[in-house]
């Protein structure tokens, strides 16, 4: 699945949206976790980086929502949530991601295994690291009471997706530590 917005930790908070150009040759989806790599948004797939945030929308440089898949010759109206960024994006097309960088946003995040398989992954206050190659899951086996190199904190199991998801928020951000 991915990081689906669930709510806010503060009742009067709103998403903090910032526009960033997407790195070259990335397959980007809304709700993917991202970080800044050399000034451009890339998928968060490693514990070497803290999250910048999650993609809220994909748009052209001028702010118009994407209407194709990004593949050469793709038909207008073919965009269904995944966009293939060209290899010259950083300098030519400049397709951008609108990223929610707020640490107050709660997400229902898919875990790499069932919550609770590793002690604490189903409990509030445990920390998780990113998993996978597409920035859409958290590593269930990384659940720890130590916040070192994780970036995400759990708020417990998602009651609507209790066999696969946990409610999480950004604990340590690439921008707001």
Q: What percentage of the chain reaches a pLDDT higher than 70?
A: 92
Same domain, 59 and 110: no
Token pair 């990335």 is found at 26
Residue 78 pLDDT: 67
The pLDDT tens digits of the residues spanning 3-40 come to 888 988 888 878 899 999 999 999 898 889 999 999 99
Q: Verify that 125 and 162 share a domain, yes or no.
A: yes
Q: Where a domain ends, among 100, 117, 137?
A: 100
- Residue of 141, 164, 161, 170 whose CA lies nearest to 33: 170
**pLDDT score of 46 more than 80:** no
Phi-psi region for residue 66, left (φ > 0), alpha (ψ -120 to 50) or beta? beta
Q: What is the pLDDT at residue 21?
A: 96
Would residue 2 count as lying in a domain?
A: no
- Res. 146: pLDDT tops 80: yes
Q: Is residue 58 part of a domain?
A: yes
Q: Which two tokens stand for residue 136?
A: 């859409």
Domain membership of residue 158 (yes or no) is yes
> What are 137's strand-pairing partners?
110, 131
Residue ending a domain, among 100, 125, 142, is 100
**pLDDT tens figures, 22-32:** 999 998 988 89
Domain carrying residue 114: 105-170
Mean pLDDT of all residues in 45-61: 86
Does this model's pTM top 0.85? My answer is: yes
């Amino acid at each position: 699945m991915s990081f689906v917005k669930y709510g806010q930790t503060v009742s009067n908070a709103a998403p903090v949206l910032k526009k960033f150009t997407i790195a070259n040759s990335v397959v980007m989806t809304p709700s993917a976790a991202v970080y800044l790599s050399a000034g451009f948004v890339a998928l968060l797939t490693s514990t070497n980086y803290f999250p910048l945030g999650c993609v809220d929308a994909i748009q052209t440089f001028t702010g118009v929502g994407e209407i194709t898949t990004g593949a050469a010759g793709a038909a207008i109206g073919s965009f269904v949530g995944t966009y293939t960024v060209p290899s010259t994006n950083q300098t030519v097309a400049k397709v951008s991601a609108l990223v929610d960088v707020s640490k107050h946003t709660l997400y229902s995040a898919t875990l790499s295994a069932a919550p609770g398989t590793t002690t604490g992954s189903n409990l509030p206050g445990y920390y998780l690291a990113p998993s996978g190659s597409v920035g859409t899951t958290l590593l269930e086996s990384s659940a720890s009471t130590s916040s070192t190199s994780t970036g995400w904190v759990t708020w417990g199991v998602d009651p609507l997706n209790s066999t696969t998801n946990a409610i999480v928020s950004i604990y340590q951000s690439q921008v707001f530590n």
